Structure 1
Amino acid sequence: MADYQETLDLSSYAALGDSFTEGLNDPGPGDRFAGWADRLAGMLAAQRPDGDFRYANLAVRGRLLDQIVAEQVPQIRQIQPDLVTFCAGGNDILRPGSDPDEIAERFENAVLELRRDAGTVLICTGFDTRTVPVLRHLRGKIATYNVHLRAIADRNGCAVADLWSLRTVHDRRAWSDDRLHLSPEGHQRVALLAARALGLPTEQDPAAPWPAQPEPTAAEVRRENLQWARTYLLPWVGRRLRGESSGDHVEAKRPELLPL
Protein backbone atom coordinates (compact mmCIF):
# COMPACT_ATOMS: atom_id res chain seq x y z
CA MET A 1 0.00 0.00 0.00
CA ALA A 2 1.22 3.48 -0.82
CA ASP A 3 2.19 5.61 2.17
CA TYR A 4 0.99 9.12 2.93
CA GLN A 5 4.03 10.91 1.52
CA GLU A 6 3.89 8.91 -1.70
CA THR A 7 0.22 9.76 -2.15
CA LEU A 8 0.99 13.48 -1.89
CA ASP A 9 3.43 13.14 -4.80
CA LEU A 10 0.87 11.72 -7.23
CA SER A 11 0.49 14.08 -10.17
CA SER A 12 -1.58 11.97 -12.59
CA TYR A 13 -4.36 9.41 -12.32
CA ALA A 14 -6.20 7.20 -14.81
CA ALA A 15 -9.35 5.24 -13.92
CA LEU A 16 -10.25 2.03 -15.77
CA GLY A 17 -13.44 0.01 -15.57
CA ASP A 18 -17.16 -0.14 -16.27
CA SER A 19 -20.24 1.80 -15.09
CA PHE A 20 -19.07 1.69 -11.47
CA THR A 21 -15.98 3.75 -12.33
CA GLU A 22 -17.67 5.83 -15.03
CA GLY A 23 -19.86 7.06 -12.18
CA LEU A 24 -23.39 6.26 -13.28
CA ASN A 25 -26.19 7.99 -11.41
CA ASP A 26 -23.92 10.59 -9.82
CA PRO A 27 -24.73 13.75 -11.83
CA GLY A 28 -21.68 15.82 -12.70
CA PRO A 29 -20.83 18.87 -14.80
CA GLY A 30 -21.53 19.07 -18.50
CA ASP A 31 -24.38 16.52 -18.53
CA ARG A 32 -21.89 13.79 -17.63
CA PHE A 33 -21.67 11.55 -14.62
CA ALA A 34 -19.10 12.22 -11.90
CA GLY A 35 -18.70 9.19 -9.61
CA TRP A 36 -16.21 8.01 -7.03
CA ALA A 37 -13.20 8.16 -9.38
CA ASP A 38 -13.83 11.82 -10.25
CA ARG A 39 -14.27 12.54 -6.55
CA LEU A 40 -11.01 10.74 -5.72
CA ALA A 41 -9.23 12.74 -8.41
CA GLY A 42 -10.46 15.93 -6.77
CA MET A 43 -9.10 14.81 -3.40
CA LEU A 44 -5.72 13.97 -4.89
CA ALA A 45 -5.55 17.24 -6.81
CA ALA A 46 -6.25 19.16 -3.60
CA GLN A 47 -3.05 17.70 -2.13
CA ARG A 48 -0.89 19.42 -4.76
CA PRO A 49 -0.50 23.11 -3.93
CA ASP A 50 0.94 23.83 -7.38
CA GLY A 51 -2.26 22.61 -9.04
CA ASP A 52 -0.27 20.31 -11.32
CA PHE A 53 -2.57 17.30 -11.47
CA ARG A 54 -3.96 15.47 -14.51
CA TYR A 55 -6.77 12.94 -14.67
CA ALA A 56 -8.24 10.54 -17.24
CA ASN A 57 -11.31 8.32 -16.87
CA LEU A 58 -11.45 5.61 -19.54
CA ALA A 59 -14.28 3.59 -17.96
CA VAL A 60 -17.37 2.79 -20.03
CA ARG A 61 -20.61 1.31 -18.73
CA GLY A 62 -21.40 -2.31 -19.54
CA ARG A 63 -17.84 -3.30 -20.34
CA LEU A 64 -16.73 -6.86 -19.62
CA LEU A 65 -13.22 -7.61 -18.37
CA ASP A 66 -11.85 -8.61 -21.78
CA GLN A 67 -13.23 -5.42 -23.32
CA ILE A 68 -11.58 -3.30 -20.62
CA VAL A 69 -8.30 -5.15 -21.17
CA ALA A 70 -8.49 -4.67 -24.93
CA GLU A 71 -9.72 -1.07 -25.02
CA GLN A 72 -8.44 0.63 -21.86
CA VAL A 73 -5.40 -1.17 -20.46
CA PRO A 74 -3.16 -0.56 -23.55
CA GLN A 75 -3.69 3.19 -23.20
CA ILE A 76 -1.86 3.15 -19.86
CA ARG A 77 1.37 2.34 -21.65
CA GLN A 78 0.99 5.54 -23.64
CA ILE A 79 0.04 7.92 -20.82
CA GLN A 80 1.95 6.23 -17.93
CA PRO A 81 0.10 7.83 -15.00
CA ASP A 82 1.35 7.82 -11.42
CA LEU A 83 -1.85 6.05 -10.30
CA VAL A 84 -4.28 3.64 -11.98
CA THR A 85 -7.49 2.34 -10.46
CA PHE A 86 -8.55 -0.93 -12.07
CA CYS A 87 -12.01 -2.21 -11.08
CA ALA A 88 -13.31 -4.87 -13.46
CA GLY A 89 -14.93 -8.27 -13.67
CA GLY A 90 -18.24 -7.43 -12.00
CA ASN A 91 -20.21 -7.65 -15.25
CA ASP A 92 -18.54 -10.98 -15.98
CA ILE A 93 -19.56 -12.34 -12.57
CA LEU A 94 -23.19 -11.45 -13.35
CA ARG A 95 -23.16 -13.74 -16.41
CA PRO A 96 -24.71 -17.18 -15.94
CA GLY A 97 -22.09 -19.91 -15.78
CA SER A 98 -19.18 -17.52 -15.23
CA ASP A 99 -16.17 -18.87 -13.33
CA PRO A 100 -14.63 -16.45 -10.78
CA ASP A 101 -11.39 -18.46 -10.78
CA GLU A 102 -10.94 -18.04 -14.52
CA ILE A 103 -11.98 -14.37 -14.46
CA ALA A 104 -9.37 -13.73 -11.75
CA GLU A 105 -6.63 -15.25 -13.92
CA ARG A 106 -7.41 -12.81 -16.71
CA PHE A 107 -7.64 -9.97 -14.20
CA GLU A 108 -4.15 -10.72 -12.88
CA ASN A 109 -2.68 -10.79 -16.38
CA ALA A 110 -3.98 -7.26 -16.83
CA VAL A 111 -2.59 -6.19 -13.44
CA LEU A 112 0.85 -7.43 -14.46
CA GLU A 113 0.69 -5.22 -17.54
CA LEU A 114 -0.52 -2.22 -15.56
CA ARG A 115 2.23 -2.60 -12.96
CA ARG A 116 4.81 -2.18 -15.73
CA ASP A 117 3.37 1.14 -16.90
CA ALA A 118 1.90 2.84 -13.80
CA GLY A 119 3.47 3.87 -10.53
CA THR A 120 0.67 2.65 -8.26
CA VAL A 121 -2.29 0.36 -8.99
CA LEU A 122 -5.41 0.28 -6.81
CA ILE A 123 -8.05 -2.41 -7.25
CA CYS A 124 -11.53 -2.75 -5.72
CA THR A 125 -13.19 -5.84 -4.31
CA GLY A 126 -16.82 -6.52 -5.12
CA PHE A 127 -19.72 -5.40 -2.95
CA ASP A 128 -21.46 -7.77 -0.55
CA THR A 129 -24.85 -8.33 -2.24
CA ARG A 130 -26.60 -10.07 0.65
CA THR A 131 -29.26 -7.32 0.83
CA VAL A 132 -29.70 -6.84 -2.93
CA PRO A 133 -32.71 -8.50 -4.61
CA VAL A 134 -31.83 -10.91 -7.44
CA LEU A 135 -28.08 -10.37 -6.95
CA ARG A 136 -27.94 -11.91 -3.49
CA HIS A 137 -27.69 -15.39 -5.03
CA LEU A 138 -24.34 -14.34 -6.57
CA ARG A 139 -22.82 -13.60 -3.17
CA GLY A 140 -20.75 -16.78 -3.12
CA LYS A 141 -19.23 -16.12 -6.54
CA ILE A 142 -18.40 -12.54 -5.57
CA ALA A 143 -16.77 -13.71 -2.33
CA THR A 144 -14.64 -16.21 -4.26
CA TYR A 145 -13.59 -13.53 -6.72
CA ASN A 146 -12.72 -11.20 -3.86
CA VAL A 147 -10.38 -13.77 -2.31
CA HIS A 148 -8.56 -13.92 -5.63
CA LEU A 149 -8.41 -10.13 -5.89
CA ARG A 150 -6.81 -9.80 -2.47
CA ALA A 151 -4.23 -12.46 -3.36
CA ILE A 152 -3.51 -10.68 -6.65
CA ALA A 153 -3.00 -7.42 -4.78
CA ASP A 154 -0.62 -9.08 -2.32
CA ARG A 155 1.43 -10.72 -5.08
CA ASN A 156 1.70 -7.57 -7.17
CA GLY A 157 1.94 -4.78 -4.61
CA CYS A 158 -1.46 -3.20 -5.31
CA ALA A 159 -3.55 -1.09 -2.96
CA VAL A 160 -7.05 -2.42 -2.23
CA ALA A 161 -10.32 -0.57 -1.65
CA ASP A 162 -12.30 -3.27 0.17
CA LEU A 163 -15.90 -2.62 -0.83
CA TRP A 164 -17.08 -5.92 0.64
CA SER A 165 -16.29 -4.74 4.18
CA LEU A 166 -17.80 -1.26 3.69
CA ARG A 167 -20.98 -1.92 5.67
CA THR A 168 -22.42 1.56 5.17
CA VAL A 169 -23.24 0.71 1.54
CA HIS A 170 -25.73 -1.86 2.82
CA ASP A 171 -28.02 1.11 3.48
CA ARG A 172 -30.47 1.68 0.61
CA ARG A 173 -29.50 5.37 0.58
CA ALA A 174 -26.11 4.36 -0.81
CA TRP A 175 -27.79 3.16 -4.01
CA SER A 176 -29.73 4.84 -6.76
CA ASP A 177 -33.22 3.74 -7.77
CA ASP A 178 -31.93 1.05 -10.14
CA ARG A 179 -30.19 -0.76 -7.19
CA LEU A 180 -27.23 -1.56 -9.45
CA HIS A 181 -25.40 1.76 -9.29
CA LEU A 182 -24.42 3.94 -6.37
CA SER A 183 -26.15 7.15 -5.36
CA PRO A 184 -24.07 10.35 -5.10
CA GLU A 185 -23.53 9.70 -1.37
CA GLY A 186 -22.59 6.11 -2.13
CA HIS A 187 -20.00 7.30 -4.65
CA GLN A 188 -18.62 9.73 -2.05
CA ARG A 189 -18.14 6.94 0.48
CA VAL A 190 -16.30 4.79 -2.06
CA ALA A 191 -14.07 7.75 -2.96
CA LEU A 192 -13.23 8.20 0.71
CA LEU A 193 -12.47 4.49 1.04
CA ALA A 194 -10.17 4.57 -1.98
CA ALA A 195 -8.40 7.68 -0.68
CA ARG A 196 -7.71 5.98 2.63
CA ALA A 197 -6.50 2.85 0.84
CA LEU A 198 -3.89 5.08 -0.79
CA GLY A 199 -2.87 6.51 2.58
CA LEU A 200 -4.62 9.84 2.09
CA PRO A 201 -6.23 11.10 5.31
CA THR A 202 -9.83 12.29 4.97
CA GLU A 203 -11.96 14.40 7.27
CA GLN A 204 -15.04 12.35 6.42
CA ASP A 205 -15.25 8.68 7.38
CA PRO A 206 -16.62 6.28 4.72
CA ALA A 207 -17.90 4.06 7.54
CA ALA A 208 -19.74 6.84 9.39
CA PRO A 209 -23.30 5.81 10.31
CA TRP A 210 -26.17 7.19 8.28
CA PRO A 211 -28.67 9.53 9.97
CA ALA A 212 -31.52 7.62 11.56
CA GLN A 213 -34.71 7.27 9.55
CA PRO A 214 -37.91 5.20 9.87
CA GLU A 215 -37.80 1.72 8.38
CA PRO A 216 -40.23 1.17 5.47
CA THR A 217 -43.25 -0.99 6.10
CA ALA A 218 -43.63 -4.39 4.47
CA ALA A 219 -46.25 -2.96 2.11
CA GLU A 220 -43.91 -0.13 1.09
CA VAL A 221 -41.11 -2.61 0.42
CA ARG A 222 -43.39 -4.70 -1.80
CA ARG A 223 -44.48 -1.64 -3.78
CA GLU A 224 -40.88 -0.50 -4.19
CA ASN A 225 -39.80 -3.95 -5.36
CA LEU A 226 -42.58 -4.13 -7.94
CA GLN A 227 -41.78 -0.66 -9.23
CA TRP A 228 -38.08 -1.52 -9.43
CA ALA A 229 -38.79 -4.75 -11.33
CA ARG A 230 -40.97 -2.95 -13.91
CA THR A 231 -38.69 0.05 -14.35
CA TYR A 232 -35.22 -1.48 -14.15
CA LEU A 233 -35.09 -5.27 -13.88
CA LEU A 234 -37.24 -6.17 -16.91
CA PRO A 235 -35.43 -3.75 -19.28
CA TRP A 236 -32.07 -5.09 -18.01
CA VAL A 237 -33.15 -8.68 -18.70
CA GLY A 238 -34.44 -7.61 -22.12
CA ARG A 239 -31.07 -6.11 -23.06
CA ARG A 240 -29.35 -9.33 -22.03
CA LEU A 241 -31.71 -11.44 -24.14
CA ARG A 242 -31.13 -9.17 -27.16
CA GLY A 243 -27.36 -9.19 -26.68
CA GLU A 244 -27.30 -5.43 -26.11
CA SER A 245 -25.21 -3.43 -23.65
CA SER A 246 -25.89 -0.13 -21.95
CA GLY A 247 -22.42 0.87 -23.15
CA ASP A 248 -23.11 0.40 -26.85
CA HIS A 249 -22.08 3.60 -28.68
CA VAL A 250 -20.78 5.16 -25.41
CA GLU A 251 -17.25 6.57 -25.31
CA ALA A 252 -14.96 7.35 -22.38
CA LYS A 253 -15.77 10.69 -20.77
CA ARG A 254 -12.12 11.71 -20.14
CA PRO A 255 -9.97 9.76 -22.61
CA GLU A 256 -6.82 11.82 -22.06
CA LEU A 257 -4.80 12.95 -19.05
CA LEU A 258 -5.94 16.54 -18.62
CA PRO A 259 -5.93 19.02 -15.73
CA LEU A 260 -9.03 18.95 -13.56
Structure 2
Amino acid sequence: MEMTANYTSFVAVGDSFTEGMSDLLPDGSYRGWADLLAARLAARAPGFRYANLAVRGKLIGQIAAEQAVPAAAMRADLVTLVGGLNDALRPGCDMGRVRFHLEEAVATLAPSCRRLVLMHSPGRQGPFLDRFRPRMEELFTHVDEVAERYGALVVDLYGSGALGDPRLWDADRLHLTAEGHRRAAGAVGQALGLDARDDWRTPLPVAVPARWTARRTEDLRFARRHLGPWVGRRLTGRSSGDGLPPKRPELLPYEPPPSGHGGLS
Protein backbone atom coordinates (compact mmCIF):
# COMPACT_ATOMS: atom_id res chain seq x y z
CA MET A 1 0.00 0.00 0.00
CA GLU A 2 1.54 3.27 -1.14
CA MET A 3 1.72 6.04 1.45
CA THR A 4 1.98 9.73 0.75
CA ALA A 5 1.44 12.68 3.05
CA ASN A 6 0.70 15.12 0.21
CA TYR A 7 -2.97 15.74 0.82
CA THR A 8 -4.79 18.92 -0.16
CA SER A 9 -7.92 18.44 1.99
CA PHE A 10 -8.90 16.60 5.16
CA VAL A 11 -12.25 15.85 6.81
CA ALA A 12 -12.38 14.37 10.32
CA VAL A 13 -15.50 12.45 11.38
CA GLY A 14 -16.30 11.09 14.83
CA ASP A 15 -16.96 11.83 18.49
CA SER A 16 -15.19 13.59 21.38
CA PHE A 17 -11.82 11.99 20.60
CA THR A 18 -11.77 13.64 17.17
CA GLU A 19 -13.37 16.85 18.45
CA GLY A 20 -10.29 17.21 20.64
CA MET A 21 -11.44 16.81 24.23
CA SER A 22 -9.63 17.44 26.58
CA ASP A 23 -6.92 19.40 24.75
CA LEU A 24 -8.29 22.70 26.01
CA LEU A 25 -7.10 26.03 24.61
CA PRO A 26 -7.11 29.33 26.56
CA ASP A 27 -10.24 30.52 24.72
CA GLY A 28 -12.20 27.50 25.95
CA SER A 29 -12.19 25.63 22.64
CA TYR A 30 -10.64 22.22 22.03
CA ARG A 31 -7.71 21.52 19.69
CA GLY A 32 -6.93 17.78 19.57
CA TRP A 33 -5.09 15.37 17.32
CA ALA A 34 -7.08 16.13 14.15
CA ASP A 35 -6.30 19.86 14.33
CA LEU A 36 -2.64 19.07 14.97
CA LEU A 37 -2.52 16.72 12.01
CA ALA A 38 -4.24 19.31 9.82
CA ALA A 39 -1.56 21.85 10.76
CA ARG A 40 1.23 19.56 9.57
CA LEU A 41 -0.55 18.60 6.36
CA ALA A 42 -1.33 22.26 5.63
CA ALA A 43 2.37 23.10 5.90
CA ARG A 44 3.00 20.78 2.94
CA ALA A 45 0.12 21.87 0.68
CA PRO A 46 -0.71 25.52 -0.15
CA GLY A 47 -4.46 26.08 -0.09
CA PHE A 48 -5.02 23.08 2.17
CA ARG A 49 -8.63 22.74 3.35
CA TYR A 50 -9.89 21.18 6.58
CA ALA A 51 -13.25 20.30 8.13
CA ASN A 52 -13.97 18.58 11.44
CA LEU A 53 -17.52 17.28 11.79
CA ALA A 54 -16.93 15.47 15.09
CA VAL A 55 -19.27 16.07 18.03
CA ARG A 56 -18.74 14.70 21.53
CA GLY A 57 -20.98 11.87 22.69
CA LYS A 58 -22.08 10.73 19.24
CA LEU A 59 -22.92 7.06 18.70
CA ILE A 60 -21.80 5.28 15.55
CA GLY A 61 -25.35 5.31 14.14
CA GLN A 62 -25.49 9.09 14.57
CA ILE A 63 -22.06 9.46 12.98
CA ALA A 64 -23.23 7.40 9.99
CA ALA A 65 -26.47 9.36 9.65
CA GLU A 66 -25.31 12.91 10.47
CA GLN A 67 -21.63 13.10 9.48
CA ALA A 68 -20.77 10.49 6.86
CA VAL A 69 -23.01 11.82 4.09
CA PRO A 70 -21.91 15.49 4.34
CA ALA A 71 -18.29 14.38 4.73
CA ALA A 72 -18.51 12.25 1.58
CA ALA A 73 -20.02 15.17 -0.33
CA MET A 74 -16.90 17.24 0.44
CA ARG A 75 -14.78 14.84 -1.67
CA ALA A 76 -11.68 15.39 0.45
CA ASP A 77 -8.37 13.67 -0.24
CA LEU A 78 -8.20 12.34 3.32
CA VAL A 79 -11.00 11.30 5.69
CA THR A 80 -10.64 9.91 9.21
CA LEU A 81 -13.44 8.05 10.97
CA VAL A 82 -13.35 7.12 14.65
CA GLY A 83 -16.56 5.91 16.28
CA GLY A 84 -18.31 3.15 18.14
CA LEU A 85 -16.60 3.50 21.50
CA ASN A 86 -19.49 5.50 22.97
CA ASP A 87 -21.74 2.60 21.98
CA ALA A 88 -19.41 0.02 23.52
CA LEU A 89 -19.43 1.90 26.83
CA ARG A 90 -23.24 1.94 27.11
CA PRO A 91 -25.23 -0.67 29.03
CA GLY A 92 -26.93 -3.20 26.80
CA CYS A 93 -24.92 -2.25 23.72
CA ASP A 94 -25.97 -4.19 20.62
CA MET A 95 -22.66 -4.89 18.90
CA GLY A 96 -24.50 -6.17 15.83
CA ARG A 97 -25.97 -2.70 15.32
CA VAL A 98 -22.56 -1.14 15.94
CA ARG A 99 -21.08 -3.32 13.22
CA PHE A 100 -23.92 -2.44 10.82
CA HIS A 101 -23.58 1.32 11.31
CA LEU A 102 -19.78 1.20 11.20
CA GLU A 103 -19.91 -0.47 7.81
CA GLU A 104 -22.66 1.92 6.70
CA ALA A 105 -20.40 4.88 7.45
CA VAL A 106 -17.34 3.31 5.82
CA ALA A 107 -19.30 2.33 2.71
CA THR A 108 -20.41 5.96 2.37
CA LEU A 109 -16.97 7.48 2.95
CA ALA A 110 -14.55 5.10 1.22
CA PRO A 111 -15.56 5.84 -2.41
CA SER A 112 -15.45 9.61 -1.79
CA CYS A 113 -11.80 10.04 -0.80
CA ARG A 114 -8.27 9.04 -1.74
CA ARG A 115 -7.46 7.72 1.73
CA LEU A 116 -9.83 6.65 4.50
CA VAL A 117 -8.31 6.12 7.95
CA LEU A 118 -9.97 4.16 10.76
CA MET A 119 -8.58 3.72 14.26
CA HIS A 120 -8.45 1.59 17.33
CA SER A 121 -9.11 4.30 19.92
CA PRO A 122 -6.64 4.49 22.81
CA GLY A 123 -7.66 3.09 26.18
CA ARG A 124 -6.54 4.24 29.59
CA GLN A 125 -4.97 1.70 31.91
CA GLY A 126 -6.97 1.16 35.09
CA PRO A 127 -10.11 -0.47 36.50
CA PHE A 128 -12.61 2.05 35.11
CA LEU A 129 -12.36 0.70 31.56
CA ASP A 130 -11.38 -2.87 32.35
CA ARG A 131 -14.98 -4.12 32.39
CA PHE A 132 -15.51 -2.73 28.88
CA ARG A 133 -12.31 -4.05 27.28
CA PRO A 134 -13.85 -7.23 25.77
CA ARG A 135 -16.46 -5.09 24.00
CA MET A 136 -13.85 -2.54 22.93
CA GLU A 137 -11.71 -5.29 21.44
CA GLU A 138 -14.75 -6.71 19.65
CA LEU A 139 -15.29 -3.25 18.16
CA PHE A 140 -11.70 -3.10 16.97
CA THR A 141 -12.07 -6.53 15.33
CA HIS A 142 -15.03 -5.09 13.41
CA VAL A 143 -12.92 -2.08 12.45
CA ASP A 144 -10.21 -4.34 11.02
CA GLU A 145 -12.69 -6.44 9.05
CA VAL A 146 -14.48 -3.43 7.55
CA ALA A 147 -11.19 -1.71 6.75
CA GLU A 148 -9.98 -4.75 4.84
CA ARG A 149 -13.15 -4.91 2.77
CA TYR A 150 -13.04 -1.23 1.81
CA GLY A 151 -9.27 -0.69 1.55
CA ALA A 152 -9.05 1.66 4.55
CA LEU A 153 -5.95 2.23 6.64
CA VAL A 154 -6.14 1.30 10.35
CA VAL A 155 -4.06 3.11 12.98
CA ASP A 156 -3.83 1.12 16.22
CA LEU A 157 -3.67 3.50 19.18
CA TYR A 158 -5.19 0.97 21.58
CA GLY A 159 -2.23 -1.37 21.24
CA SER A 160 0.23 1.27 22.41
CA GLY A 161 1.23 0.85 26.02
CA ALA A 162 2.44 4.44 26.10
CA LEU A 163 -0.98 5.91 25.26
CA GLY A 164 -2.53 3.86 28.04
CA ASP A 165 -0.45 5.70 30.66
CA PRO A 166 -2.91 7.44 33.05
CA ARG A 167 -0.74 10.57 32.95
CA LEU A 168 -1.77 11.09 29.32
CA TRP A 169 -5.44 11.19 30.27
CA ASP A 170 -7.55 14.01 31.67
CA ALA A 171 -9.19 13.88 35.10
CA ASP A 172 -12.37 12.42 33.55
CA ARG A 173 -10.33 9.32 32.54
CA LEU A 174 -12.09 9.29 29.16
CA HIS A 175 -10.17 11.89 27.13
CA LEU A 176 -6.52 12.45 26.32
CA THR A 177 -4.48 15.39 27.56
CA ALA A 178 -2.72 17.75 25.17
CA GLU A 179 0.34 15.47 25.19
CA GLY A 180 -1.86 12.45 24.50
CA HIS A 181 -3.44 14.19 21.51
CA ARG A 182 0.01 15.21 20.26
CA ARG A 183 1.06 11.57 20.30
CA ALA A 184 -2.14 10.45 18.57
CA ALA A 185 -1.53 13.01 15.83
CA GLY A 186 2.02 11.72 15.48
CA ALA A 187 0.77 8.16 15.10
CA VAL A 188 -1.70 9.04 12.35
CA GLY A 189 0.81 11.30 10.60
CA GLN A 190 3.47 8.60 10.55
CA ALA A 191 0.96 6.06 9.21
CA LEU A 192 0.23 8.50 6.36
CA GLY A 193 3.92 8.97 5.55
CA LEU A 194 4.87 12.10 7.49
CA ASP A 195 8.39 12.17 8.86
CA ALA A 196 8.61 11.09 12.48
CA ARG A 197 9.71 13.99 14.67
CA ASP A 198 9.78 11.66 17.65
CA ASP A 199 8.40 8.24 18.55
CA TRP A 200 4.83 8.56 19.82
CA ARG A 201 5.19 5.16 21.49
CA THR A 202 8.00 6.31 23.82
CA PRO A 203 6.92 5.63 27.42
CA LEU A 204 6.83 8.50 29.89
CA PRO A 205 9.51 8.51 32.60
CA VAL A 206 8.80 6.20 35.50
CA ALA A 207 6.57 7.99 37.99
CA VAL A 208 6.92 8.01 41.75
CA PRO A 209 3.86 6.11 43.04
CA ALA A 210 1.32 8.34 44.76
CA ARG A 211 0.38 7.67 48.36
CA TRP A 212 -2.63 5.46 48.96
CA THR A 213 -4.58 8.33 50.52
CA ALA A 214 -3.87 10.58 47.53
CA ARG A 215 -5.07 7.90 45.10
CA ARG A 216 -8.30 7.34 47.04
CA THR A 217 -8.93 11.09 47.22
CA GLU A 218 -8.48 11.34 43.45
CA ASP A 219 -10.80 8.35 42.93
CA LEU A 220 -13.52 10.01 45.02
CA ARG A 221 -13.11 13.29 43.14
CA PHE A 222 -13.36 11.44 39.81
CA ALA A 223 -16.51 9.59 40.92
CA ARG A 224 -18.20 12.80 42.07
CA ARG A 225 -17.26 15.10 39.20
CA HIS A 226 -17.12 12.75 36.23
CA LEU A 227 -18.32 9.18 36.79
CA GLY A 228 -21.65 10.09 38.38
CA PRO A 229 -22.73 12.52 35.62
CA TRP A 230 -21.48 10.09 32.95
CA VAL A 231 -23.53 7.22 34.38
CA GLY A 232 -26.54 9.52 34.66
CA ARG A 233 -26.36 10.38 30.96
CA ARG A 234 -26.04 6.69 30.04
CA LEU A 235 -29.13 5.77 32.08
CA THR A 236 -31.28 8.58 30.69
CA GLY A 237 -30.12 8.35 27.07
CA ARG A 238 -28.69 11.85 27.09
CA SER A 239 -25.39 12.89 25.53
CA SER A 240 -22.83 15.57 26.32
CA GLY A 241 -23.05 16.59 22.68
CA ASP A 242 -26.82 17.08 22.47
CA GLY A 243 -27.49 20.28 20.55
CA LEU A 244 -23.83 21.02 19.81
CA PRO A 245 -22.75 21.81 16.22
CA PRO A 246 -19.60 20.38 14.59
CA LYS A 247 -16.43 22.34 15.37
CA ARG A 248 -15.54 22.97 11.69
CA PRO A 249 -18.63 22.12 9.61
CA GLU A 250 -17.32 23.34 6.24
CA LEU A 251 -14.29 22.32 4.20
CA LEU A 252 -12.48 25.66 4.22
CA PRO A 253 -8.87 26.79 3.84
CA TYR A 254 -6.90 25.96 6.97
CA GLU A 255 -5.86 28.93 9.07
CA PRO A 256 -3.32 28.38 11.84
CA PRO A 257 -4.54 29.20 15.35
CA PRO A 258 -2.92 31.95 17.42
CA SER A 259 0.80 31.52 18.08
CA GLY A 260 1.60 28.66 20.42
CA HIS A 261 -1.73 26.86 19.91
CA GLY A 262 -1.11 24.82 16.77
CA GLY A 263 1.31 22.59 14.96
CA LEU A 264 2.54 19.09 15.61
CA SER A 265 5.83 19.21 17.42
Q: Tell me whether the two structures share a fold, i.e. TM-score over 0.5.
A: yes
Percent identity over the alignment is: 43
Q: State the 1:2 CA deviation.
A: 4.5
Report the counterpart of residue 86 of structure 1 in structure 2. 81
Q: Structure 1: where are the runs of 5+ without partners?
A: none
Alpha-carbon distance change, 116 to 91 in structure 1, aligned in 2, over 3 angstroms: same
In the alignment, the residues of structure 1 paired with residue 224 and residue 105 of structure 2 have an alpha-carbon distance, to the nearest angstrom, of: 37
Report the counterpart of residue 188 of structure 1 in structure 2. 182
Matched, 1:36 2:33: yes
Q: Structure 2: where are the runs of 5+ without partners?
A: 255-265
Report the counterpart of residue 42 of structure 2 in structure 1. 45
Report the counterpart of residue 230 of structure 1 in structure 2. 224
Q: State the 1:245 CA deviation.
A: 1.2
SS at match of 1:160: strand
Alignment of 1:1-260 (within 5 A): 1-3=1-3, 6-8=4-6, 10-28=7-25, 30-48=27-45, 51-129=46-124, 131-260=125-254
In the alignment, the residues of structure 1 paired with residue 231 and residue 110 of structure 2 have an alpha-carbon distance, to the nearest angstrom, of: 36
Q: State the 1:200 CA deviation.
A: 1.7
TM-score in terms of structure 1 length: 0.92
Q: Deviations over 1:36-57 (max 9, x none)?
A: 1101111111222xx2211000
TM-score in terms of structure 2 length: 0.90
Q: Say whether the 8 Å CA contact 1:101–1:145 is kept in structure 2.
A: no
Q: Deviations over 1:207-248 (max 9, x none)?
A: 112133312122221111111101111111222233321101
Q: Say whether the 8 Å CA contact 1:2–1:120 is kept in structure 2.
A: no
Count of paired positions: 254
Q: Say whether the 8 Å CA contact 1:125–1:161 is kept in structure 2.
A: yes
SS at match of 1:165: coil
Q: Say whether the 8 Å CA contact 1:13–1:83 is kept in structure 2.
A: yes
Q: Say whether the 8 Å CA contact 2:161–2:203 is kept in structure 1.
A: no
Q: State the 1:97 CA deviation.
A: 1.9
SS at match of 1:7: coil
Alpha-carbon distance change, 245 to 128 in structure 1, aligned in 2, over 3 angstroms: closer
In the alignment, the residues of structure 1 paired with residue 136 and residue 51 of structure 2 have an alpha-carbon distance, to the nearest angstrom, of: 28
SS at match of 1:216: coil
Matched AA of 1:222 = R
